[in-house]
Amino acid sequence: MTNNSPRSVARGKVFAVAPMMDWTDRHCRMFHRQITRHALLYTEMVTAMAIRHGDRQRLLGFDQREQPLALQIGGSEPASLAEASRWGEDFGYGEINLNVGCPSDRVQEGRFGACLMAEPALVRDCIGAMRDAVSVPVTVKCRIGIDDQDDEEDFDRFIETVSQSGCTTFIVHARKAWLKGLSPKENRDIPPLNYHRVYRLKQNRPGLNIIINGGINTLDEAEAHLPHVDGVMLGRAAYHTPWILNEVDRRIYGCTDEPAASPLEIVERMKPYISEQLARGVWLQHITRHMMGLFSGLPGGRLWRRVLSEQACRPGAGLDVLERAAAEIASRLQAPALAAE
Ligand SMILES: Cc1cc2nc3c(=O)[nH]c(=O)nc-3n(C[C@H](O)[C@H](O)[C@H](O)COP(=O)(O)O)c2cc1C
């Protein structure tokens, strides 16, 4: 793989599951990996300072079965980002991504995340230092702008300046971040989506790899973006309705392997991992909380959520909780005239 190229895939397009704090932890990623072999997965954001001073095994450790996997870092200081990237590469991540899109106050105080969209030269220097430090691709996740920045010119200047670092892959959340007055959650919904702005970026800079993100809810929608860009990244839809990932390998990556026949098969695939984790003292609910949406919109969805939320949190809860819920769903599936919940 050449530096900064997106993963080489059957049709040259990338499908990624977004970095999401508190959500895309290692258990979540292992779960998603049972549904799609090829989607590129991202960690939650880890700050460069945490990597420098914190418990690196806890912050960066992962299971090789999660690959292909990218580490997202937050920071704005070239030397510490370079050091953090080095740690990421040493741990085995296949890509290091810089967060230039997060609008939370805590992140703004640390002068990183989306507020860096106003400092393209600093981002260029950060990415340059990170690229010098590692041989895996270094990518940027950003917005189309912040606050009262002019959509077209400021964004073009940002991309132009940052790409001087040699960075060629940009994941673009297709809405601005409004840094004053909106919560991070509101900033994921209220600023309007502008997909055409991202398409134009690809048209104007065909040599860059552009991955589009924001408000993409289904695989049909994801596929509709692909003629215009190099890839798609889904966040909330992948988390809340993970079964949509089941068709990713076939439809996006052109794989002919049989996808899982049903979400019940995914439950089976998760069991060995869950057993391993329980044996290490991990609580069942820390894993199953990410699996709540597996049957979303499907027969048994409500039952599944109820059993997991009521029983997986009990002290000592084990695989039997999952097995009971799965057995009940299986028996319902055999019943005639079953309506989707
Ligand atoms: C709970 C949550 C946590 C998030 N944490 C991060 C993060 O750590 N880094 C980041 O770049 N984006 C983060 N995001 C933003 C997502 O990566 C993504 O850009 C955003 O949700 C829009 O995509 P979507 O509409 O497909 O969800 C987070 C989103 C959610 C819902």
Q: Which domains occur in the chain, in start order? A: 14-251 (3.20.20.70), 263-334 (1.20.120.1460)
- The predicted structure's pLDDT at residue 102: 84
Over the chain, what is the mean pLDDT? Answer: 92
Q: How confident is the model at residue 288 (pLDDT cuts 50, 70, 90)?
A: very high
- Using alpha carbons, select from 339, 336, 341, 337 the residue that is nearest to residue 294: 341
The strand ranges marked E within the chain are 14-17, 40-47, 69-74, 95-100, 138-143, 169-173, 209-213, 231-234
Pair of tokens at residue 318: 């084990």
Q: Which atom of ligand 1 is nearest to the CA of 238?
A: 26
pLDDT at residue 26 is higher than 70: yes
41 lines ligand 1 (CB under 6 A): no
pLDDT tens profile 80-98: 999 999 999 999 999 999 9
141 lines ligand 1 (CB under 6 A): yes
Contact 78, 125 (CB under 8 A): yes
pLDDT tens profile 185-211: 999 999 999 999 999 999 999 999 999
45 lines ligand 1 (CB under 6 A): yes
- The CA distance from 60 to 71, in Å, is 8
Q: Name which residue sits closest to atom 10 of ligand 1, judged by CA.
A: 19
Contact 140, 151 (CB under 8 A): no
Pair of tokens at residue 292: 């709540």
Q: Name which residue sits closest to atom 14 of ligand 1, judged by CA.
A: 20
pLDDT tens profile 137-170: 999 999 999 988 876 789 999 999 999 999 999 9
What percent of the chain stands above pLDDT 70?
93
Residue 102 annotated in active site: yes
- The predicted structure's pLDDT at residue 145: 93
19 CA to middle of ligand 1, Å? Answer: 6
- DSSP 3-state assignment of 72? strand
329 CA to middle of ligand 1, Å? Answer: 31
* Average pLDDT, integer, range 301-308: 94
The interaxial angle of helices 319-334 and 301-311, nearest 10 deg, is 160
Helix ranges (H only) for 54-103 are 56-60, 78-91
Please tell me which residue, 339 or 127, carries the higher pLDDT value: 127
- The CA distance from 241 to 226, in Å, is 21
Residue 290 CB neighbours (<10 A): 21
Q: In terms of C-beta distances under 8 Å and separation of at least 24 residues, what long-range contacts does 7-13 make, across chains too? A: 7/40, 7/68, 7/94, 9/38, 9/252, 9/253, 10/253, 10/254, 10/255, 11/252, 11/253, 11/254, 12/230, 13/226, 13/230, 13/231, 13/232, 13/252, 13/253
First-residue to last-residue Cα distance in the chain: 44
- The CA distance from 70 to 56, in Å, is 16
Pair of tokens at residue 92: 């085995």
Among the listed residues 28, 102, 126, 167, the single catalytic one is 102
171 CA to middle of ligand 1, Å? Answer: 12
Contact 140, 100 (CB under 8 A): yes
- The predicted structure's pLDDT at residue 299: 87
